[in-house]
Structure formats: structure tokens, C-alpha cells
Chains A and B, each alone.
Chain A
Amino acid sequence: MTRTLDRPVARRAERKGLSEGKKAERKLGWMLCAPAALVMLAVTGYPIVYSVWLSLQRYDLRFPDQRQFIGIDNYVTVLTNSYWWMAFGVTTLITVISVAIELVLGMALAIVMHRTLVMRGLVRTVALIPYGIVTVVAAFSWRYAWTQDTGYLADLFAPGAALLTERVPALGIIILAEVWKTVPFMALLLMAGLALVPDDLLKAASMDGASAWQRFVKVTVPVMKPAILVALLFRTLDAFRVFDNIFVLTNGAQQTGSVSMQTYNNLIKGLNLGIGSTMSVLIFLAVALIAFLFIKVFGTAAPGGADERKR
């Protein structure tokens, strides 16, 4: 008896929480989002699911008859393969080094752009040029510049040496090309962060006795930390999928290939859909893990975040 009684009461109380207007508004909100959400699902969700499905099969276009569901066998194959781990190591190396350099240079450029008083527009436009050039085009010009005997940079720094055919110098050139290309993007994101730091705060720090460097480290950086994290996240995700520069500069020779290169070689050149898809799924998981870690750090460090509001 009590059960049948308190149920409607509870439900009515629940309904009271949301007025009719609120409910209609919420419904409208869902309806307005729906088309975009559906398109997103179609263009991103479907390929992901399909890749996962392919990665669970033996499926080589050269031997289509042998197509067969084999569970996680492909994953075992890839994850026990030393070439995969070599590519993974190279990718991680390129990612960490190039993002670190980009952060430092991007910050310096952001500060210059933020502080410039004269010809601000011109400075910003010039700084953005590398980012506006198609990566492959830029990569080719780097390749010509570093080609033995004919390239001006090769002539200048290492006459007679074929840098692009040696592993360490080649990786250095790949990182250089990556850095050159994306520092402006980094700087732009960081400049938005610099704008978040009120002038008064820096003036107060000056009055409190901070030197320029102390102001930067103790006030500017902590206050713009959310912007720095976003910039790092974007760049790390991007850098981990590095492909064009390597493809043009070395084509992965001398063990300079990234995981994306490996995937390309298996999927497109080797026509092995099963192994190729497995690698794409692994890259996807790695990228998702990076994003997850960043957002975890984010959630605990961002000012005004959940843990601060609790107090």
C-alpha cells in the first residue's frame, strides 16, 4: 500500500523541479544538436567501428580468399613486432622533442607578439606564414635544402654529407621541419593565454619585488596554465600522428618512420587491411590515452575546476 502511495508523490516532486518552459527548452536543445551529432557519428563513429571490425580479421587484399575472423591475433602480431616498437619509439621521440621545443619557442614568439606595440598586425601575419604553407610543400623545400650537394642548408652546415640518409641527422631535420611549421600555431594559442593574465597582476608582482623572470614563472605561467595545457594537448595529439614530413623527407628510411608511416605501409602499400587497421586502432588508443591524461591533469589543475569549487 505504501509503495503505491509514495510513487506518484515522488514523481510529481521530480517533475516540479523542471518547469514546463525548462523542459521545452531542453528538448529544443537536443533537437538542435541532433543533426550535428548524427553527422559526427556517421563520419567519425562509423570508420572507427569499421576499423575495429577489420582489425579483428585476417584480411589481406592480395589474398582475399583467406579473409577470416581471428580475434586479437592481429594485435598480438603487431605488439610483438620489433618494427612496430621501433616506429613507436621514433614517434614518441619526435613528439616529445618537437613539442618541447615548440612550447619554448612558441611562448617566446607569443610574448613578442603580445608585447609588440608597433606594426602588430604585420608581426602577427609574418609569424603565421609557416603555418599557412601546406605541409607537403614545406617538406619538399626542406628536402631540397638538405639534399647533398644541391641544398643550400646542406652546403652550409655539412658540405659533402648526406644528412637525410643518416638516422640521427634525419630525425633532427624532421623535428626541425615540424617545429618550424607549428611554432606559429603554438604561439597563437599561447598568446590567447597571455591575454588572460591581467596587467594589474603583473604590476602587483613587480611591486611585491618580483623580477621579470619571477613574474613570468610565478604569475604568468600559473595563471595561463589552462591555455598552455590546451596548446600542449593539441600539439601532442598532432605530433603523434606525424606523417607528411617523414614521408617527404626520408620516406621512413634508416628507421625514421613513425607509427603513421608503418600503418600507411601496411594498409596502402601492403594492402593488408587487417594489420593496417590494427595499427590505426592502436594509434587511436594511444592518442585517446594522451588526451585522457591531459584532461586528467587539467581537471585537477585548472583554476576554478571541480576540486576548487568543492571548498
Chain B
Amino acid sequence: MAEIVLDKVTKRYPDGALAVSDVDIEIADGEFLILVGPSGCGKSTTLNMIAGLEDITDGELRIDGQRVNERAPKDRDIAMVFQSYALYPHMSVRENMAFPLRLAKVDNQTVNQKVDEAARILDLTQHLDRKPANLSGGQRQRVAMGRAIVRDPKAFLMDEPLSNLDAKLRVQMRTSVSKLQKRLGTTTVYVTHDQTEAMTLGDRVVVMRGGHVQQIGSPQFLYEQPANLFVAGFIGSPSMNFLPATLENGGLSTPLGAFPLTDRIRLLVEGANAPREVIMGLRPEHFEDAALVDGQSTTFEATVDVLESMGSDKFAYFTVEGETATSAELEELAADAGSADLTDSGAQIVTRLSAASAAKQGTPLDVWFDADKVQLFDPADGRNLTYSG
């Protein structure tokens, strides 16, 4: 049980690379905190600094109010689960899980009792005498978890613990990790590059980019009130649609047509000192087949490129004529998603329509969108002009 505070923590590697810069995070006792961001953004470095595996260049790390910058990993009483599991290949599952207790000179009987208990929780009882090499990926992952929980540490640190599992197992293990953490109530910092994991697991999520914290908040809050273009594009699947737009006399002119701003948005935009040229963001679920909506003020017509029916709803993809929105953040997101060179003519937008929609691939459709759900971003620095958090 512990409260962990990162106070202006900075990491500069000996080769000069600035991996983490001025990170401020307060992790409450018992909280499940997620660090998420594209690969190379400094998540592992941050975690390793909390663990004590990397020195902190600048700033202070406090555990339960005490500065621990100079403390060795073994004196921090924190357990870590690695992406590679890092199981000791020469030890059986039992010995692996008992290792931290043996080092702590716990007596034999207690060791056996704790290992058996952890094995029972993690469903490893019948594998205790096997070597890690003979276990499946999921079992190895559980042994790694077991080794972390046996000694009742102040906090768990997990660095992409599920990344080496196949998709189905990952979803299963996600649930068990979440249950386990709730049951033990131990402060946990969990690193992932997968936004779905971040959204489903954590009490709070920290989005990082290039060594900087972009935003900290509950998953729902980040989804609804992203602080900037990067968070908006990173959180959510399928991701938010971005289009270039122009603010003029109380309205917005966009490739989807011109429409007036709702009062709520106009107030926010005025307060934010917005430029004329902006980027409009709209989530897929804020579109609907116009035939299914009453009082359809904001609609546009476009041809359905691709239709994916998911049963409960339908995803319709359109190409919108005109320019595409450009900004450094969007390029980085596209690069991270591996879709950097997919830009052809016009902007791709993804919409989520009701299952009742009569949309057909290759035919035009009238589409409605919720003008009050529009988010506007400053293309220069990416900040959210409609942020009300």
C-alpha cells in the first residue's frame, strides 16, 4: 500500500537522449494507473525510474512521502512484471515465485504457504514443479504475476505485461489482472501502448508523448474531454475523425458543409481565443443515418466506400472531398498507427450507424452528425479549443 508521487521527474540518458521530461504524477494509495502512449514515448523509462532500475536525472520521486531517488530497487519494496516475464529459467515455478521471499529470509513454512496461496489464486497449482520453458505463454505470464504478488509489496509495476500474448488470451488476462488488482487493492502502475487496454483497465490514465505528459484523467474523461489533438486521436477505437474547418461569423465551414455552432461550443471557443483555421474532430458514434433522426439540421450526403456490419451497429466509411487536416500531432498518430502513407484524395471518415440503417456499400447516403459533439483544435499547438474540463 503506498502513495507514489513523481515531482517534475526528468530522465536524460547518458547519450543525451531526453526520454522523460518534467513528469508530474500523483498516484493515490490503491489506485490502478495506466501509462499509455506510442512506442518510444518514455513509458518504460518512467516505470523504471519508479522501480529504481534507472536513475532519476532531475526531480523527485516520493513513496509515502519519503524521497526515494537514491534508494536501490530492493529497498523500495516494489514488485515488477516484465513484458518478457523474466522468469528464472533454471528454477521451477515454485522456486520462481518463492525467490523474493527466500531473499527476504522468510521461513520455509510461510514461503510454502504464500506460494501455494498465490498459485491457487492464479490457477497454477498443478504447474508448481515445472520449469518455465515448459509452460504456455499465458501460464508464464501468471507465474510472473505470482512472483510479484507473493511478497505483498507496496506497489506493482507492470511493463506491457500482456503484449506477448495472443489477442484472445490478452482479453482474458486483462480481466484477470483487473480483478486481481481490485482484490489485492495494491497501488499499480501499468504501462501499455494499447489504448483499449488503457481504457478498460485503469482508474486513471496518463497519456504520454515524446517524454511529456499530455493529459491525466479517468478513461471516460479522456475520451470525452481530450486536452489536445494527440489525446483525441490516440484514445478511442476507431479513432476520432479530423477535418479542416474555418470559423467565420458564429459558424463553422467544413468539408461536410457549413453550420452554426451550438451555444455551448460558441462560448467555449470564444473563451479559448481560437484562430480562424481550426481542425474539427468528431467521433464515429456522433454520426447517424439521417433517415433515422428527427430534426435533421446538420446533414451531408456522401457515398459509402465500405460498410462493416457488426450486428449491433454498422461502421460506414466515407471519403470527403477537399483538403485533409494536417498537424504534427496527426502525422505522429498516423505514423504510430502505421497508416502514414495511406493518404489519397480527400479525408477518410469513419461513422458508426445504427443497425437499422439502410446504408449500402457504393450508394450515396444522407448522414447526420451531432453538431454539439464537435470538438475544435488549434492546428498550431494542437490544444482543444472546446475543452471544458
| Residues of chain A at the chain B interface (Cβ within 8 Å) | 117, 198, 200-201, 203-211, 214, 218-219, 222-223, 225, 303-304, 308, 311
Contact = CB atoms under 8 A, between A and B. Distances in A.
Interface stretch (B77-85, B228-236, B295-303): B77-85
Given A206-B74, A208-B99, A311 B130 contact: yes
A107 to B, nearest CB: 18
A223 B89 CA distance: 7
Interface in B206-244: none
A204 B133 contact: no
Nearest to A207: B80
A42 to B, nearest CB: 42
Contacts of B89: 223, 303
Contacts of A303: 89-90, 131, 133
Interface residues of B, number: 26
B130 A201 contact: no
Nearest to B153: A207
B104 interface: yes
Most buried by A among B52, B74, B133: B74
A203 B53 contact: yes
Interface of B: 14, 51-53, 72-74, 78-80, 82, 84, 86, 88-90, 99-100, 103-104, 130-131, 133-134, 147, 151
B70 to A, nearest CB: 15
Contacts of A219: 88
Contacts of B86: 198, 200-201, 203-204
9 contacts: A204-B82, A204-B147, A207-B74, A208-B79, A208-B100, A223-B88, A303-B131, A308-B133, A311-B131
Contact of A207 (B73, B84, B130, B134): B73
A195 to B, nearest CB: 15
Contacts of B80: 203-204, 207
Contact of A200 (B84, B100, B130): B84
Most buried by B among A203, A210, A308: A203
B106 to A, nearest CB: 11
Nearest to B72: A206
Given A303-B90, A311-B134, A208 B82 contact: no
